[in-house]
Amino acid sequence: MAAAAVLIWIVVIPLIYLIVFSFRSGTAAAPGDWTLANYALVYTSKMTHAALGNTLIYTLMVATLSMAIAGGLAWLVERTDMPYRGAAWVMILLPIAMPGMLSSMAWILLLGPRTGLINVILRGLLAPFGYDAPSGPINIYSMEGMIFVESVRGSTTLFLMLVAGFRLMDPALEEAASMSGARTGYTLRKITLPLMLPMLLATWMYSFIGTLDDFETPLLIGLPAQIFLLPTVIYFTAYLSSSWGLAAAYATIFLLISVVLVFVYHRVVLRRTSQFATVSGKAYRPRQIELGRMRWPALGLVILYFILAVMLPLLILVLASLLPFYRVPAWDMFSELTLMNYEQLFSNTRVLRAAGNSLWVSFWVASGTMILAFLLAWVIVRQRVPGRMILDSIAFIPHAIPAVVVAVAMIMFYLSPAMQWTGLYGGLIVLSLALVTRFIAFASRTSNAAMTQIDASLEEAAYVSGARKARVLARILFPLLLPTFVAGWIFVAANAFRNLNVSLLLSTPQNELISVTLYDYWERQADFSMASALGVVLVVGLAAITILARQLIARGYSGND
């Protein structure tokens, strides 16, 4: 029951405060009269219309483009005889280690209108043809730029979902078409595509909802370009112009949109997809389509993706981090390369303190989220407690709350007269609670799924052997679920560590996380070299931890056998 109370405390109450506050004037700390003025302002503001329009274009385009990229890559890897498919897997999955903030930064360094490396090179190449503008030809600070960066980055998760979808399909369905006399193209048109359609739609919508929540690209590229999206409008009104009532109104509207979409996704789209599920027990792999002369060009496409998603961004970041001051790269700069930025990084008290904060927050957020999720899963899946389905729904709500909304709701709640006296606002605890709210939906789904897999009789055998509940939980369930627990822990810890969307809005000088420091170096101090150095350390650290953790998990599994 304590778990239920925690859940209500971190999910339901802040949302209620958010919604209530959107109908009041004044500040969160000293709310004024009841009013509809916030909504009136939202309704009449030009910014609203622009933001809604931008958000719609951005999410539609990113979802469609990343879907196309991911679909193409998944098809090449799963269903064709493209060479080096093993290496292709790695190349496609590596971008996971790249936080969105860093890809945006890297692409700004590459495609910034004046100093972007690629632009400089292009201007050089185009000069003989009469191109002599001081900037361009490509401008990353545009809607197209944002869409490009996010589509390339967002494809990896979709790739994994699509590969799983491809594998779920019974190969016999296509073989039956062959046996019926259908050639490859006809089978693709009449059997494969129609069968995959619900799954493709579901993946597309998943991508759409995820992009709606995306904050980092709109922040780093959109804000300087004066292109506002819903999340950045909220950040802008709340943080930069301190109109909290207005921000609450925006957040409430954003919340509503997101909840409707997530509801449709789960209750309509996913159910439809499961009706089409065509799982079979046969182990035959589907036949691979022979690409013939196109085999090597196909691999070229994968490599191109790898270059755009990982190699170019990482190279430019490393290069920038080795320059004493960032300037347009040129051939003479190789003499200037220095490790100075890294030395400064490791001796800078602000950076070290932020890193300490980030470690502390990641550890407690991951532990807290996973323990809460497991207790909830136990109640929801196993115990016959009335109201457990309500708990399940509450745990699921955060899935539909955009990160920015979580942050604003937390601010409203902890700055409110009811909570102000605690002095928690601005500290690491509120930040951590906000992050737990952020990740509880993921953790809860994972734990529920894992708990469902474990046969109830394993627990019942322990009860019959005379064990009480606590012992059953500790000695039977926990060891069985440990691999899931560890995997989920690492996922949450890594994501909390690199989180920007919640932590930036809740940041104060006292609770600064490393991601916020990075953003600060980049945006406010415009020290691109230090920001790059910090970014490189972050990527290397995250990659190392992920690999190490994976090996630990693998060992844990074999140890349990």
Partner 1 sequence: MSESPLQGQDGSGAPVRPGQLTVRNLVKTFASRQETVQVIKDVSFTIEPGQFFTLLGPSGCGKSTTLRCIAGLERGDRAHIAVSGRVLADTDTGAFVPASDRDFGMVFQSYAIWPHMTVAQNVAFPLHANRRRHQLSRKEVGERVEEALALVRLDQFGGRIATKLSGGQQQRLALARALVTRPDLLLLDEPLSNLDAGLRDHMRGELRAMQLRTGVTTLYVTHDQSEAFSMSDVIAVMDAGVLAQQGAPRDIYWRPSTAFVATFVGQTNLLSVVRPPLQAGSGILSVETTIGPLLVNVASERPIGPGDSVVIRPEDLQVTREPPLDGRANVFRGRVRRPTFLGENIELEIEIGSELLMTRQHPRFAFGAGDEVYVELPVDRCVAVSGAAAGVGSHIRGTIGDPAAPHTNAAQ
- 267 binds partner 1 per the rule CB under 8 A: no
The only residue of 26, 194, 224, 297 in contact with partner 1, by rule CB under 8 A: 194
As a whole number of angstroms, the distance between CA 195 and CA 203 comes to 14
As a whole number of angstroms, the distance between CA 483 and CA 543 comes to 20
Report whether the peptide linkage leading into residue 171 is cis, meaning its omega lies within 30 degrees of zero: no
CB of 158 to partner 1, least distance (A): 22
CB of 283 to partner 1, least distance (A): 10
DSSP for residue 384:
-
User: Closer CB to partner 1, residue 79 or residue 498?
Assistant: 79
As a whole number of angstroms, the distance between CA 103 and CA 149 comes to 7
The alpha carbon of 523 is separated from its chain's Cα centroid by a whole number of angstroms, namely 21
User: Closer CB to partner 1, residue 175 or residue 523?
Assistant: 175
How far CA 502 is from CA of 39, 59, 193, 428, 437, in Å, comes to 24, 20, 39, 12, 10
Decide if 531 contacts 108 (C-beta within 8 A).
Answer: no
CB of 172 to partner 1, least distance (A): 4
CB of 195 to partner 1, least distance (A): 6
User: Closer CB to partner 1, residue 44 or residue 280?
Assistant: 280
User: Closer CB to partner 1, residue 196 or residue 462?
Assistant: 196
Instruction: Work out the burial of residue 525: count CB atoms within 10 Å of its CB; fewer than 13 is exposed, 13-18 middle, 19 or more buried.
Output: exposed
CB of 174 to partner 1, least distance (A): 8
Residues 269-308 close enough to bind partner 1 by CB under 8 A? 275-276, 278, 280-282, 284, 287
CB of 336 to partner 1, least distance (A): 47
* Paired sense of beta strands 31-34 and 24-26, if any: antiparallel
CB of 274 to partner 1, least distance (A): 11
User: Closer CB to partner 1, residue 190 or residue 350?
Assistant: 190
Query: Quick one: which of 102, 208, 96 has its CA closest to 149?
Result: 102
The only residue of 177, 375, 406, 502 in contact with partner 1, by rule CB under 8 A: 177
Decide if 468 contacts 542 (C-beta within 8 A).
Answer: no
User: Closer CB to partner 1, residue 144 or residue 290?
Assistant: 290
Which tokens is 277 given? 């599920």
User: x/- contact string, 197-236, with partner 1 (CB under 8 A)?
Assistant: x---------------------------------------
Residues 147-176 close enough to bind partner 1 by CB under 8 A? 170, 172-173, 175-176
CB of 353 to partner 1, least distance (A): 48
Element (H, E) at 34: strand 31-34
Which tokens is 238 given? 């709340």
Q: Name the β-bridge partners of 26.
A: 31
User: Closer CB to partner 1, residue 182 or residue 257?
Assistant: 182
The only residue of 61, 101, 106, 195 in contact with partner 1, by rule CB under 8 A: 195
User: Closer CB to partner 1, residue 50 or residue 173?
Assistant: 173
Residue 231: partners with Cβ closer than 8 Å, 6 or more residues away: 213, 214, 215, 218, 219, 254, 402, 403, 404, 501
CB of 193 to partner 1, least distance (A): 10
The only residue of 5, 179, 330, 464 in contact with partner 1, by rule CB under 8 A: 179
- Residue that the structure tokens 């474990």 belong to: 454
The alpha carbon of 498 is separated from its chain's Cα centroid by a whole number of angstroms, namely 10
The only residue of 49, 167, 190, 350 in contact with partner 1, by rule CB under 8 A: 190
CB of 276 to partner 1, least distance (A): 5
Q: Name the β-bridge partners of 24.
A: 34
The only residue of 131, 186, 346, 478 in contact with partner 1, by rule CB under 8 A: 186
User: Closer CB to partner 1, residue 226 or residue 275?
Assistant: 275
Kindly determine how many residues on this chain lie close enough to bind partner 1 according to the rule CB under 8 A.
28
Element (H, E) at 26: strand 24-26
CB of 377 to partner 1, least distance (A): 31
User: Closer CB to partner 1, residue 176 or residue 547?
Assistant: 176
Residue 338: partners with Cβ closer than 8 Å, 6 or more residues away: 322, 323, 324
Decide if 184 contacts 198 (C-beta within 8 A).
Answer: no
Decide if 8 contacts 387 (C-beta within 8 A).
Answer: no
CB of 24 to partner 1, least distance (A): 52
Give the DSSP letter string of 209-265: HHHHT--HHIIIIITTTT---HHHHHHIIIIIS--HHHHHHHHHHHHHHHHHHHHHI
Q: Which stretch binds partner 1 (CB under 8 A): 178-186, 353-361, 522-530, 532-540?
A: 178-186
Residue 25: partners with Cβ closer than 8 Å, 6 or more residues away: 31, 32, 33, 35, 37, 38, 245
CB of 135 to partner 1, least distance (A): 52
- 182 binds partner 1 per the rule CB under 8 A: yes
User: Closer CB to partner 1, residue 189 or residue 350?
Assistant: 189
User: x/- contact string, 63-102, with partner 1 (CB under 8 A)?
Assistant: ----------------------------------------
Query: Quick one: which of 348, 389, 350, 367 has its CA closest to 490?
Result: 367
User: Closer CB to partner 1, residue 86 or residue 509?
Assistant: 86
User: Closer CB to partner 1, residue 43 or residue 186?
Assistant: 186
- 180 binds partner 1 per the rule CB under 8 A: yes
As a whole number of angstroms, the distance between CA 559 and CA 561 comes to 5
Task: Report the interface residues with partner 1, using CB under 8 A.
Answer: 170, 172-173, 175-184, 186-187, 190-191, 194-195, 197, 275-276, 278, 280-282, 284, 287
